[in-house]
């Protein structure tokens, strides 16, 4: 099983700027230029990735159903490693990988997938915001 040290080594080897904010939790900056920060946390036998996309209270109530449909479409067509979901009143992008056989390519592939989503998808969510 991989360890926190393995995750740190993978992140250091990658192109992604990062910093460990506490034992087993890193904030990873997306290199696409998006302002969002990806949080990577080791919890038990999982590596959990999460980024907050937008607060749901900023979404026009009349456009919520359309936004949810768009998220489901993106989950089915564009997302390889992650998925859009709702947590704590926010639209989030999340993924989990098993630490048992996690390798460098899988970790970086997930960060790359998030980067593409942040640069391609997130700007489109502005259409669902309150005027």
Would you kindly state where each structural domain of the chain is located, as residue ranges?
A: 4-126
Determine the pLDDT at residue 30.
73
Residues in the chain with pLDDT < 70? 31-34
Determine the pLDDT at residue 80.
87
How far is Cα 21 from Cα 86, in angstroms, rounded to an integer? 24
CB pairs under 8 A, 24+ apart, for 39-46?
40/7, 40/11, 42/4, 42/7, 42/99, 44/99, 45/1, 45/98, 45/99, 45/100, 46/96, 46/97, 46/98, 46/99
CATH class given for the domain over 4-126: alpha beta
Determine the pLDDT at residue 33.
63
Determine the pLDDT at residue 34.
64
Q: What's the pTM?
A: 0.92
């Amino acid at each position: 099983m991989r360890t926190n040290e393995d995750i740190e080594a993978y992140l250091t080897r990658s192109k992604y700027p990062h910093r460990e904010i506490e034992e087993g939790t890193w904030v990873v900056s997306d290199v696409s230029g998006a302002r969002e920060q990806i949080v990577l946390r080791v919890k038990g036998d999982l590596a959990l990735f999460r980024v907050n996309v937008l607060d749901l209270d900023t979404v026009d109530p009349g456009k919520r159903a359309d936004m949810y449909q768009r998220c489901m479409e993106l989950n089915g067509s564009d997302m390889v490693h992650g998925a859009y979901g709702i947590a704590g009143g926010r639209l989030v992008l999340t993924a989990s990988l098993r630490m048992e056989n996690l390798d460098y390519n899988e970790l970086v592939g997930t960060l790359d997938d998030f980067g593409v989503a942040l640069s391609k998808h997130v700007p489109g969510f502005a259409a669902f915001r309150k005027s």
